[in-house]
Structure 1
Amino acid sequence: MTDTFEIFLVATPGLEAPLAAEARELGWTPAIQPGGVTVSGPWRDVMRANLMLRGATRVLARVGSFRAMHLAQLDKRARKFPWADWLRPEVPVRVEASSKASRVYHAGAITQRIERALVEELGATIAKPEATDPSVTVKVRIEDDLCTISLDTTGESLHKRGHKQAVAKAPMRETMAAMFLREMGFDGSQPVLDPMCGSGTFVIEAAGMAAGMAPGRSRSFAFELLANFDAAAWQALRAGVTPHAPTARFTGSDRDAGAVRMSLANAERAGVADWTGFAQGAIADLQRPEGPAGIVIINPPYGARVGNKGPLFGLHANMGEVLRSRLAGWRVGIVTSEAGLAKATGLPFLPPGPIVAHGGLKVRLWQTGILGG
């Protein structure tokens, strides 16, 4: 449990930099790679990363590697690999394989050899493709003839916090929402407002961040199924997180009454209902919240998924007018796949953020400085 090894934090493509910043704040020394961030640490850090990181989508423990120039060598070395150090024979295993610039190049053949080693050397059961029972995924990557074995310690993607049951159309994933908030400089002290809140993701994430709540507090993880799982250490880690009541207020509104009901229920399950508020209303009815200025962040419809683009230009123009006239002193962030829609708001945007993969779309965060009076 105390040996240090490499841990790969998988990021939403385009959000590697804010994930690295988050990891740095939590005490790691991150190195950005395509698709994620590498840190090093013992198994306690694997558990802590799953529990505490808001921007990672999963946590991979790189538990070993060996050279494999051909399939016979892969077969022989896979059989000698110390699988029993991490895997329990009674827990079903999935194998996912990939290869790049290597003499062993066929993913199906790699998967077959690793599965055979697991069955014959460990006595493992290979999970059926359609199975829904809890299982552990072994990821095998061969690059430049080096075979790296990683364990997916997360299970279901980390954006599934465990307390959000009701979801609106085209939802923003929690991991993305947290990183967009971070990109806007949110540190927990500023009020956050989302006037098109959907199921409340931005507002609920902001409240949880401000309160210092562990994002993984309401769910289980794949590492709990591993042979080296230390239940006492895990309980101590969870007990060591002490949330506090934030001083700022986090509010959302939506023209859809059903979305507001969803947001209220999700906030209640997340334990942030005391610090959040949701109300029904169109953006044209938006009123300036009482108290200090803060951050407005919106994931408006952008035509690729919800609605058609035509009427959206008028919607964005009206939205921009409302925000400019009523929220002087605030900063605005809009997530959209359409630069034209962002520009239709007439808001004084800074250069947009990097392209981010979002459910088959390519979106960017457009943010302003402080709006003038």
Structure 2
Amino acid sequence: MTNTQDFEIFLATAPGLEPVLHDEVRFKGFKQPKQVPGGVTIRGGWPVVWRANLWVRGAGRVLARIASFRVVHLAQLDDLAHRVPWADVLRPDVPFRVEASCAGSRIYHSGAAAQRIETAIRDTLGAPSSPEAAVVVMARIENDLCTISIDTSGEPLHKRGYKEAVNAAPMRETMASLFLRQCGFDGSEPVLDPMCGSGTFVIEAAEIAARLNPGRARAFAFELLATFDAEAWQTMRAVKSARVPACRFYGSDRDAGAVEMSRANAARAGVSEFTEFRQATISEIVPPEGPPGLVIANPPYGNRLGDSKKLAPLYQAFGQTLMTRFKGWRIGLIANEARLAHMTGLPFLPNGPPVPHGGLRVALYQTAPLA
């Protein structure tokens, strides 16, 4: 498998956000993006894999599909797994581990399937297997079709490399970036998050506006593969796309600790210059000077951080403050209960499908510019 060979690459996201990720991938110029359940597929060689990890904000991980074959029993899997050219992709000196899943197939024991593939790699390549290995070979056997992929990301891609401090119930950066995109945010307008927590929405918005690559400050599993070209990767990373945003990005929170946390995270991300954080309650927020933009918030949820009845005053104050003071601004609200969202009294547009988040299902509620 050479660096110029064309193969399928899968970019994973939360179910329900596939159309938004597809929009981002197409916008960033990747070849043949196709929306599929759980993500988006593109085609390309290994440099495209590196670029996807470096550039794409909304993907949770990037998988390189290296083999696919029909299989109906374990002996057949054993034979076919031995024929995969593992040495083209994996290194004999780097530990690996295998994760397998089975659905609707005559092979139904995922542990046994993983064991057969692990043995085939050890036999043909000589690489050691380890449950803690950073290189993960993923096998999915669905309707008797076995697809073998390499997880090229390693740590999930929402771990951008700057956030040391997080608060309770954090929004993942990958999901936050897709919600921003869903709200029509392209970096050209101010963003305000009045319940900023650890600053995720504000920092993502500032990075988008500053054209900073989301993967610029972290390592990836593909750096441990036989296909990795360190010189070509350094050249790719060195391309400067950054610019100074035309506007600023604002966060506030009633908790002083959250404000300090956000400032520290913004400093590590290199966006302090474009962001402002202050301590304020919902009823104290006012629009910053300048043109209107987007208010986006991920308030506490009823069945995660407290009783939803206790949260009613917070949602009501949120809606009242925005309706009174934020004329011309669009609103994006993440909520797990329609009832709570509508307590704001905001004129929401029809919302999209719910999305899994932290064991719950949440939806993005949006408005047009407030009249």
Smaller-chain TM-score bracket? over 0.9
- SS of 1:213's equivalent in the other structure is coil
1:76 and 2:79 equivalent? yes
Equivalent position of 2:59 in the other structure? 56
Equivalent position of 2:29 in the other structure? 27
1:182 and 2:181 equivalent? yes
Equivalent position of 2:208 in the other structure? 209
Amino acid at match of 2:82: R
Cα distance in 1 for partners of 2:144, 2:180 equals 40
- SS of 2:368's equivalent in the other structure is strand
1:120 and 2:123 equivalent? yes
Equivalent position of 1:160 in the other structure? 159
Cα distance in 1 for partners of 2:123, 2:309 equals 60
Equivalent position of 1:4 in the other structure? 6
- SS of 2:60's equivalent in the other structure is strand
- SS of 1:45's equivalent in the other structure is helix
Equivalent position of 2:220 in the other structure? 221
Count matched residues: 368
User: How far off is 1:101 after superposition?
Assistant: 2.6
Amino acid at match of 1:360: G
Amino acid at match of 2:48: D
> Which range is displaced more, 102-111 or 221-230?
102-111
Cα distance in 2 for partners of 1:146, 1:195 equals 48
- SS of 2:25's equivalent in the other structure is helix
Contact 1:214–1:241 (8 Å) recurs in 2: no
Map 1:266-285; keep pairs closer than 5 Å. 266-285=265-284
Equivalent position of 1:263 in the other structure? 262
Cα distance in 2 for partners of 1:52, 1:259 equals 28
Cα distance in 2 for partners of 1:184, 1:336 equals 15
Cα distance in 2 for partners of 1:143, 1:358 equals 25
Cα distance in 1 for partners of 2:69, 2:302 equals 48
User: How far off is 1:197 after superposition?
Assistant: 0.3
> Which range is displaced more, 31-40 or 304-313?
304-313
Q: Percent identity?
A: 60
Map 1:1-373; keep pairs closer than 5 Å. 1-28=3-30, 29-128=32-131, 131=132, 134-372=133-371
Could you report, residue by residue, the CA deviation over 1:292-327 in whole angstroms, capped at 9, with x for unpaired residues?
000000001122211221121111111111001010
- SS of 1:265's equivalent in the other structure is helix
User: How far off is 1:81 after superposition?
Assistant: 1.2
Amino acid at match of 1:14: G
User: How far off is 1:30 after superposition?
Assistant: 1.3
Could you report, residue by residue, the CA deviation over 1:182-227 in whole angstroms, capped at 9, with x for unpaired residues?
0000010010000110000000000000111000011000000001
Question: Scaled by the length of structure 2, what TM-score is found?
Answer: 0.97
Runs of 5+ consecutive residues of structure 1 not aligned to the other structure = none
- SS of 1:369's equivalent in the other structure is coil
Cα distance in 1 for partners of 2:202, 2:330 equals 15
- SS of 2:232's equivalent in the other structure is helix
Amino acid at match of 1:46: V
Runs of 5+ consecutive residues of structure 2 not aligned to the other structure = none
Query: Which runs of structure 1 show a deviation greater than 4 angstroms over 4 or more consecutive aligned residues?
Result: none
User: How far off is 1:99 after superposition?
Assistant: 1.9
